[in-house]
Amino acid sequence: MNNPHPLPDPYPDPQRWIILFSVCLAGLIMPINFTGPAVSLPAIATSLGGSVVALSWVTNAFMLTFGCSLMIAGALADRFGRKRVFISGLAVLTLSSLVMLMVQDIIAFDLIRALQGVAAAAAFAGGTAGLAQVFDGTERAKAFSLLGTTFGIGLAFGPLLAGFLVQHFDWRAIFISVSLFSAIALFAGIRYMHESRDPAAAKLDWPGAATFTLALTLLTYAVLQAPDSGWSNPEVIALFSGALLFMIAFVVIENRVRRPMLDLSLFRYPRFVGVQFLAAAPAYSYVVLLVLLPLRFIGIEGYGTLEAGIVMFALSAPMLILPLLAGMLAHRFSAGIISSLGLLICAFGLLWLAQYAPGQPFLLLILPLLTIGCGISLPWGLMDGLAVSVVPKDRAGMATGIFSTVRVAGEGIALAVVGALLAALVEQHLPGSPLANAAAGAHRLAMGDLQQAAALLNVDTAALKQSYEAAFQGLLYILALTTAISAGIVFIFLRHASPSPIVPSQTTNAQSLAERSTE
């Protein structure tokens, strides 16, 4: 029987669209806040100085804390209020970006970047969970599809915007733009979003969250420190040992707690294991290039930041279109087959890119970069739906939580591992007999600091460019092989899998996180 006096819609038009605008703007900030500092890293190094390890944390600190905090932020949003967590994250992001304008040393910069990762996770988790309260049915699918498109715009145009700002103003202009976008989203959220929470939300698994975060932090720091100090250095060994102990402690805690942060029993499902391989694949086939290529273009090849941003646009531009196409193809073909094909295309693009030595006209790089972007866009558009569809329906929320953590935290670890691998390859290709400061010089060269590497190694820059060329080519071959192997694993585990039809994800696991928060 229909209610003769229905309750008024708490989110009438156009209020709900302003809320969508606020959350989409917050989603736009995330990729800009990652790709922008990556493009401007040479300018940041010139301004603030710092060791290679400290400079590596410019990107790694944000990605690591963002990945580790996503599930914690989602649980806090359910328990204490989605609007409160969303607003708190945006407020910290706004203020911390303004503080960046006054930073004078790289250590303070890295600490603020870590804080920004936590704030971004809060804004993202709170915003997407809140958005799920505003829209229902097909409108919800359209809203999250638009959020995915916005994330793709940030990935595609972030390097271009950063290059323009650094070339015409200063690297600090990037954080001014982030602060401006955050402030607009903040005020819109304060004014129009209503508070909501899950009255049945459980207490947060703090021991699990703490041990997991410490394990990833120590592992990342060990990988970053090893190229400078040596893999057999006692400090590096202690860091790896600490990471292993905390991860063991995490597994023990999650197997004993009543409501764990990560339900490890899901790994009993073979197709769920395949989804985790798929979640990790973009990290080393695509995400690492967002950091390494600007360092190559600006530091080694001498491009301006704007030129580098234009070239990087070719890498991410397919994200604007192809994830939608992947969703359409999934109605006719297995999502696992489409994802495997995309990874193979990406591997081919990496091999193609390996044929171009530094110094080539940058227009020649556009086609291989487009190929990589096209290849990775196919699985990217299907991953979130697959994360939900490969486990029983009542386990979907936890499945997306594990998927989100593997995906984002894996990107931070991949950045550290691939950066260390490039430094090791550079050291192998250095000219002449064993050089003094070889490890430190190779690490500098891998970070795109050609002049400092030349000063440390007492080798002319032309010879160092050749060493870098050989090392980068070898790295691309390794990444291509790893991506191709991942394609095979994904095909084996997921060739019959199909994504959930209600999740037309493009560039982010936004809707999956929201579904978890509304269980």
- The mean pLDDT of the chain is 81
Backbone φ, ψ for residue 200 (5° rounding): -95, 5
- Contact criterion met (CB below 8 Å) for 515 and 160: no
Q: Would you say residue 509 has pLDDT above 50?
A: no
- Which of 47, 62, 339 is CA-nearest to residue 220? 62
Rounding to the nearest 10 degrees, give the CA dihedral for residues 315, 319, 322, 326: 120
- Amino acid making up residue 364: L
pLDDT tens-digit readout, 481-507? 999 999 999 898 887 666 654 333 443
Helices (H), 230-304: 234-256, 270-282, 288-294
> What is the reported pLDDT for 168?
83
pLDDT tens-digit readout, 141-187? 677 767 777 877 887 788 888 888 888 888 899 999 999 999 999 99
> What is the reported pLDDT for 395?
54
> What is the reported pLDDT for 371?
95
DSSP 447: T
> What is the reported pLDDT for 119?
93
Q: How many residues does the chain have?
A: 519
499 against 445, higher pLDDT = 445
- Contact criterion met (CB below 8 Å) for 308 and 159: yes
What's domain 15-195+261-517's architecture? Answer: Up-down Bundle (1.20)
pLDDT tens-digit readout, 218-273? 888 888 777 767 778 888 899 889 989 998 998 888 888 777 767 777 777 788 88
Residue 507, both tokens: 């560039």
Q: How confident is the model at residue 388 (pLDDT cuts 50, 70, 90)?
A: low
* Lowest mean pLDDT across 66-80, 139-153, 455-469, 473-487: 139-153
pTM of the full predicted structure? 0.80
What would the mean pLDDT of 473-479 be, rounded to a whole number? 95
> What is the reported pLDDT for 50?
80
Q: How confident is the model at residue 390 (pLDDT cuts 50, 70, 90)?
A: low
Interhelix angle 461-494/270-282, nearest 10 degrees: 160
